[in-house]
Amino acid sequence: MRIASVLTSIALAGFIATGVAAAATTAATTTTAAPAATTAAPAKKSAASAMTPEKTAISKQCSALADAKKLHGKAREKFRADCKKNGGKAT
């Protein structure tokens, strides 16, 4: 138990020292350096926002058709891919 409390104390002291050093470095750089021009990074689109309502409807239609055919696994994946290529119509 003694070793665990000593190691915990050392780790806690290390975290505090790191935080103080980082804060001191940040304060020193912000007061002496001129603010740099920032450029906004392009926002990444999430998978949900990339889907248009039309594509979503086609995907749902293909899923419904695959459910009706009781397809699972690789056969379902292949069927849905072909269906989506054909605009929601089964081949």
Give the pTM.
Answer: 0.45
Residue 65, class by beta-carbon neighbours within 10 Å (0-12 exposed, 13-18 middle, 19+ buried)?
middle
A 10 A CB-CB count for 15 gives 10
Residue extents of the structural domains in the chain: 53-86
**Do 57 and 65 meet the contact criterion of CB atoms below 8 Å apart?**
no
Alpha helices in the chain (DSSP H): 2-32, 47-50, 53-68, 73-85
Q: What is the pLDDT along the chain (91 residues), one digit of tens a residue?
A: 688 887 788 876 776 767 655 555 555 555 555 555 555 555 555 555 577 989 999 999 999 999 999 999 999 999 999 999 998 887 7
